[in-house]
Structure 1
Amino acid sequence: MDIDSFWKLIEHSRGRARGRAGRLAWLRDELARKPMAEIVGFQVCLDRLCEKGFTWELWCAAERIFGGWCSDDSFCYFRLWVVGLGRTTFERAVRDPDTLAEAPEVLRLVGRPRRSWDDDWPEWEELDYVANYAHEQVTGVPHTDVSFYRAVAAGRSDDVLVRNPLGVRWDVRDEPEATRKLPRLSSKFPITTQP
């Protein structure tokens, strides 16, 4: 699967299904109709995109949205969520994370207490498993079996593994710095002591 085919699936899932569960079911069923190499290729593309977003700038954007803190796992799931927003939003966010302030999915969060975000929470861990579930649907091999991830690793054998975020880490709670680097997100998501 090439990157354009990957993004077509992501975009079609946005238009053909409602909610994350509906999108995941649609993606799983669409992938299950494809050859095994494309199912594996979907995961390879997803992994590569998540690595492209593995930057301190995007991490700081996530921290700002989350109120000043974002764990390793939360940042992983946040990047999956940003992929789920579509190609244009993702590519813009990787180049300039402050552009997330314009995304409708982010605008829905503004001014709301985080405890009320529920289905709008900006993380999408389950997207990372959809290709594996399609693999299970096609082969009958349980998703807990490592064979799918071995195939993905083989598809990425020439990739350089990124172990640390790119760029320079900075403290998103430093208001002057945050206002300079993420002006729109900083104004929309002021850091407070409220969860």
Structure 2
Amino acid sequence: MTDEAFWQLIGRAVEQPGDRDEHAEWLTEELTRLPLAQVVDFAVRLAAVRARADTPELLAAAHLIHAGSCSEYSFRSFRLWLLTLGRETFDAVVADPDGLAGVERVRALAARPMREWSAQDWPEWESLDFAAHEAFDESTGRDCALAEELARLGVADSTGPVPPGDPVRLPRLAELFEGATVRG
């Protein structure tokens, strides 16, 4: 599977009607139609893309957006949510996490108190993590088959916590969410 095919699948999933869980279900169905090697390729690319977003700067951005509380698990899901923004925006915010302040969906979050966010507003896409696994398991008839295949290939399917570094400064995002925290 090429990068282009990966991003096209993500884009088509996001365009489907329904919520993010339904988008992931659609993606799972699409992946079951592909040869197993392409399902593995999708999972490998997903792990690589998620790893690109595993930076102290994006962790700081997630903390700001989540009002200072972003667990390792929430950060993993946040990085998957970044894919819903599309390839171009994803690449831009990986290069400059403070650029999230210019993303309309992020600005919409900052405009409302967190307690008013719906389940679909939250910047996370946990169910994306399971799409390739479910498709692979369904196609092979074996549980945890993709995790075993990824381990055999030496692909880390998860990342650990981002090590602390120098304080991260995201002035535009901090200004945007400082007001949201006061209102919330």
Q: CA deviation at 1:19?
A: 2.2
2:128 is equivalent to residue 140 of structure 1 = no
Q: Which amino acid aligns with 1:116?
A: E
SS of 1:68's partner is: coil
Q: Which amino acid aligns with 2:171?
A: P
Q: CA deviation at 1:16?
A: 3.3
> How many residues are matched?
181
Task: Give matches, 1:97-108, under 5 Å.
Answer: 97-108=97-108
CA distance in 2, matches of 1:32, 1:80: 20
Relative to the length of structure 2, the TM-score reads 0.86
Residue 27 of structure 2 contacts residue 131 of structure 2 at CA under 8 Å; is this kept in 1? Answer: yes
Change (3 A) 1:190 1:31: same
Q: CA deviation at 1:167?
A: 8.0
Question: Equivalent residue for 1:174?
Answer: none
Instruction: Please list every run of at least 4 consecutive aligned residues from structure 1 whose deviation after the TM superposition is greater than 4 angstroms.
Output: 161-164
Residue 41 of structure 1 contacts residue 152 of structure 1 at CA under 8 Å; is this kept in 2? Answer: no
2:158 is equivalent to residue 170 of structure 1 = no
Question: Equivalent residue for 1:178?
Answer: none
Q: CA RMSD in A?
A: 2.4
CA distance in 1, matches of 2:71, 2:89: 22
Change (3 A) 1:62 1:158: closer
Residue 31 of structure 1 contacts residue 39 of structure 1 at CA under 8 Å; is this kept in 2? Answer: yes
CA distance in 2, matches of 1:70, 1:62: 6
Question: Equivalent residue for 1:177?
Answer: none
Q: CA deviation at 1:15?
A: 2.3
Deviations 1:31-75 (A, max 9, x none): 111001111111111111111111100000111111123111111
Q: CA deviation at 1:169?
A: 4.1
2:28 is equivalent to residue 28 of structure 1 = yes
Q: Which amino acid aligns with 2:151?
A: A
Residue 32 of structure 2 contacts residue 139 of structure 2 at CA under 8 Å; is this kept in 1? Answer: yes
CA distance in 2, matches of 1:10, 1:107: 22
Q: CA deviation at 1:105?
A: 2.1
Which shows bigger deviation, 82-91 or 45-54? 82-91
Question: Equivalent residue for 1:153?
Answer: 151
CA distance in 1, matches of 2:125, 2:47: 14
Task: Give matches, 1:1-195, under 5 Å.
Answer: 1-118=1-118, 119-141=120-142, 145-155=143-153, 157=154, 165=162, 168-170=165-167, 181-190=169-178, 192=181
SS of 1:70's partner is: coil
Percent identical: 38
> Structure 1: any 5+ residue segments left out of the alignment?
172-180
Which shows bigger deviation, 8-17 or 49-58? 8-17
CA distance in 1, matches of 2:6, 2:132: 11
Residue 81 of structure 2 contacts residue 123 of structure 2 at CA under 8 Å; is this kept in 1? Answer: yes
Q: Which amino acid aligns with 1:90?
A: F
Q: CA deviation at 1:20?
A: 0.7
Relative to the length of structure 1, the TM-score reads 0.82
Residue 110 of structure 2 contacts residue 176 of structure 2 at CA under 8 Å; is this kept in 1? Answer: yes
SS of 2:127's partner is: helix
